[in-house]
A and B are shown apart, each in its own frame.
Chain A
Amino acid sequence: MHRFYLYQLYLIPMLLAAVLSLRVFIEKWPKPYRIFSALLFATLVIELGSIFWSTDWYKMSGYAQTNAWIYNAGHLIRLALLVWFYHDMMTSERVKKAIRWIGALALLSLIGIYIFYTHTSHVAYFLLHSFPAILFALFYFRQLLKNDEVIRLEKDPGVWISIGVFIYNMANLPVFSFIDYLNKTNLKTASATLYYNDALNILSYTLFLIAFLCKPQPKPLPSSFSSPHY
Chain B
Amino acid sequence: MQTPTETTALVILITTLLILFVCAAGVYFLFLYQKKRFRHQREVLELREAFGQTLLQSKLEIQEQTLDHISKELHANISHLVSLININLSEILPQTPQATRENILETKSLAKQLMGELKALSASLNTDHIMHIGFAKAFENELNRVTKAKKYQLTAVKNGSEYRLPAEHEIILYRLCQEVLNNVVKYSKATQLSATIDYDRDCFRLRIADNGIGFNPAEALEESGSRKSTGLINMRKRASLIHAEFGLTSQPDQGTTVEITIAHPKILNA
**Chain A residues at the B interface, C-beta cutoff of 8 Å:** 141, 144-145, 150-154, 163, 166-167, 170-171, 173-175, 178, 181-182, 185-186, 189, 196, 223-224, 227-228, 230
The SS class assigned to the A binding surface is helix
Among listed B41-49, B97-105, B130-138, B160-168, interface-contacting one: B41-49
Q: A178 to B12, Cβ gap below 8 A?
A: yes
B48 in complex: contacting residue of A145, A167, A223, CB < 8 Å: A223
Going nearest first, the 7 A-B pairs with the smallest beta carbon separation are A186-B5, A174-B15, A189-B9, A150-B41, A185-B5, A150-B38, A150-B37
- Are B42 and A228 within 8 A (Cβ)? yes
Contact yes or no, B45 A170, CB < 8 A = no
Complex Cα–Cα for A106 and B27 (A): 26
A interface footprint on B1-36 (CB within 8 Å = 1, 0 otherwise): 000011011001001100110111001001101110
Of all chain A residues, the one with the shortest Cβ separation from B237 is A224
Taking CB atoms, residues of chain A closer than 8 Å to B252 are none
Q: Taking A145-B33, A181-B8 as contacts, is the C-beta distance between A167 and B45 under 8 angstroms? A: no
Which chain A residues lie closer than 8 Å to B15 at the CB level?
174
Query: How many whole Å from A208's CB to the nearest CB in chain B?
Result: 15
The 8 Å CB contact of A175, one of B12, B23, B34, B233, is B12
Assess A230 versus B34: contact at CB under 8 Å? Given A182-B9, A186-B9, A196-B16: no
The verdict on B52 contacting chain A, using a C-beta distance below 8 Å, is yes
Main SS of chain B's interface residues? helix
CB-based contact B42/A174 at 8 Å = no
**Is there an interface contact between A175 and B37, defined as CB atoms closer than 8 Å?**
no
B31 touching A153, Cβ below 8 Å? yes
Measuring CB to CB, which residues of chain B are less than 8 angstroms from any residue of chain A? Answer: 5-6, 8-9, 12, 15-16, 19-20, 22-24, 27, 30-31, 33-35, 37-38, 41-42, 45, 48-49, 52, 233
Q: Kindly list chain B residues whose C-beta atoms are within 8 Å of the C-beta of A154.
A: 31
Asked if residues A167 and B27 are in contact (CB atoms below 8 Å), the reply is: yes
Beyond the given pairs A150-B41, A223-B45, A228-B45, 6 more chain A to chain B contacts, judged by CB atoms under 8 angstroms and listed by A's residue number, are A153-B34, A163-B27, A171-B19, A171-B20, A186-B6, A224-B52
Which chain B positions have C-beta within 8 A of A228? Answer: 41-42, 45
Closest to A141 in B: B30
- Evaluate contact between B42 and A167: CB separation under 8 angstroms: no
List the A side residues contacting B23 at CB < 8 Å: 166-167, 170-171
Per the bound structure, the CA–CA distance linking A141 and B34 in Å amounts to: 10
Q: List, sorted by A's number, 14 A–B pairs whose CB atoms are closer than 8 Å.
A: A144-B30, A150-B38, A151-B34, A153-B30, A153-B31, A153-B34, A154-B31, A167-B23, A173-B19, A175-B16, A186-B5, A186-B9, A189-B5, A189-B9
In this complex, the member of A141, A171, A182, A186 whose beta carbon has the largest number of chain B beta carbons within 10 angstroms is A171
**Chain B residues whose CB sits within 8 angstroms of the CB of A141 once the complex forms:** 30
Q: A223-B45, A223-B49, A227-B49 are in contact. Are A145 and B19 (CB under 8 A)?
A: no
CB–CB A152/B5 < 8 A: no
Q: Closest CB of chain A to B248's CB: distance in Å?
A: 14
Bound form: Cα–Cα A163–B34 in Å: 15
Partner of B34, one of A145, A166, A227: A145
Q: Which residues of B contact A170 (CB under 8 A)?
A: 19-20, 22-23
Partner of A167 from the list B6, B20, B31, B41 (CB cut-off 8 Å) is: B20
Q: How far is the CA of A223 from the CA of B233 in the complex (A)?
A: 12
Chain B residues with CB under 8 Å of A186's CB are 5-6, 8-9
Question: Which B residues lie within 8 Å of A144 (CB)?
Answer: 30, 34
Q: Are A230 and B8 in contact (CB under 8 A)?
A: no
